[in-house]
Amino acid sequence: MRAIWKGTISFGLVSIPISLVSTRPGKEIKFNMLDSKDSSRIRYLRVNENTGEEVPWERIVKGYEFEPGKYVTLTDDDFKRVEAEGTRSVDIESFVNAEDIDPIYFETPYFVMPDKGGEKPYLLLRQVMNKAKKVGIARIVMRGKESLAALFDHEEALVLNLLRFKQEIRPSEDLDIPESAKISEKESDLAEQLLQSMTEQWDPDKYKDEYQEKLKKFIEAKIESGETAAPETPPEAEPVGTPAEDIWETLMQSIAEQADKKEKTSTKKTPSKAKKKTEA
């Protein structure tokens, strides 16, 4: 497993060397964009919308549109001036009850793996968090951006889940949702009865990505049936030789050209020699 981030978890005065790895197994089906005419790969160009000219990477900068058609441009150096300082440390600031965190704040989870020398404090931290049913709230800098994170135990591992800041979530007050409606007691009782009849123990193994499974089987069937495509490789141009019937004529023409070149060279040299004799 490739580590996405390496550093330490700071738990009071205890530092635990760790690595973060993706929780995704990397088995998603990926596609390339092809031209349906000949199955050639589609390549995207960076084009200046005014000139139609392709723009090289070194000329591209990011721009913030503060008014329609007006931008403040930012270079890589500008971003470095304001990016968060990478401390390579997950600093646990506090512990909270897991149920107190609204699910809307959760963003991206990563498995936390102990590095050499961190096995024992890693297991100790996971054990006490599991026993207390607490989640650690921490800060981490990844790719120059500071993020809030929740550290919690999951089965035999610790998981670090990046959290959204409150400012990153649209307030529900901004949504056009009715505040009330006339709901009868009978309607409420029937809805509650339906909810209770559908209630069961959560079992993640019960749910499969049926679309991915069907898509994979469909693709495998196409491969087995030979229904595949590949872009045609243009044939290499074969060297064009002199036709056998033209060899005599071609040789005679070549000899004539060489004789003509020698004669021109000799003519150029003669005046210069004559000139030298006159001067002498």
Q: What stretches of the chain adopt beta strand conformation (E)?
A: 5-11, 14-22, 62-67, 70-74, 89-97, 106-114, 134-142, 145-154, 157-163
Q: Give me the chain's average pLDDT, please.
A: 81
Query: Cβ-count burial of 163 within 10 angstroms (0-12 exposed, 13-18 middle, 19+ buried)?
Result: buried
Residues in the chain: 280
User: Which of 29, 31, 26, 27 minimizes the C-alpha distance to 229?
Assistant: 31
Residue labelled with tokens 């006490």: 128
Between 143 and 33, the higher pLDDT residue: 33
Residues 280 and 274: their CA atoms lie apart, in Å, by 10
Task: Give me the residues paired with residue 28 across strands.
Answer: none
Domains identified in the chain and CATH numbers: 5-25+63-168 (2.40.290.10)
Asked if residue 217 has pLDDT above 60, the reply is yes
User: Which of 152, 126, 127, 150 minimizes the C-alpha distance to 138?
Assistant: 150
* φ/ψ of residue 92, rounded to 5: -75, 120
Q: Looking at residue 247, what is its pLDDT?
A: 62
Between 265 and 178, the higher pLDDT residue: 178
Helix (H) or strand (E) holding 128: helix 119-132
Amino acid 39 reads S
Residues 113 and 117: their CA atoms lie apart, in Å, by 12
Q: Looking at residue 258, what is its pLDDT?
A: 75
Residues 175 and 65: their CA atoms lie apart, in Å, by 25
- Cα–chain center distance at 243: 56
Asked if residue 243 has pLDDT above 80, the reply is no
Residues 17 and 19: their CA atoms lie apart, in Å, by 7
Q: What are the C-alpha distances in Å from 231 to residues 34, 219, 225?
A: 9, 18, 19
Per-residue burial over 210-221, b = 16 or more CB atoms within 10 Å of its CB, e = otherwise? eeeeeeeeeeee
- What's the sign of the alpha-carbon dihedral 1, 138, 163, 159? positive
Helix (H, G, I), strand (E, B) or coil at 58: helix
Amino acid 142 reads M
Share of the chain above pLDDT 70, in %: 84
Residues 73 and 57: their CA atoms lie apart, in Å, by 15
Helices (H), the chain: 76-82, 119-132, 185-197, 210-224, 247-279
* φ/ψ of residue 36, rounded to 5: -65, -15
Asked if residue 151 has pLDDT above 90, the reply is yes
Mean pLDDT lowest among 44-48, 65-69, 112-116, 215-219: 215-219
Residues 14 and 26: their CA atoms lie apart, in Å, by 33
Residues sharing a CB contact under 8 Å with residue 73, sequence separation 6 or more, in sequence order: 61, 62, 63
Structure token pair of residue 269: 């040299």
**Position 110 confidence tier, pLDDT thresholds 50, 70, 90:** very high
Asked if residue 278 has pLDDT above 50, the reply is no
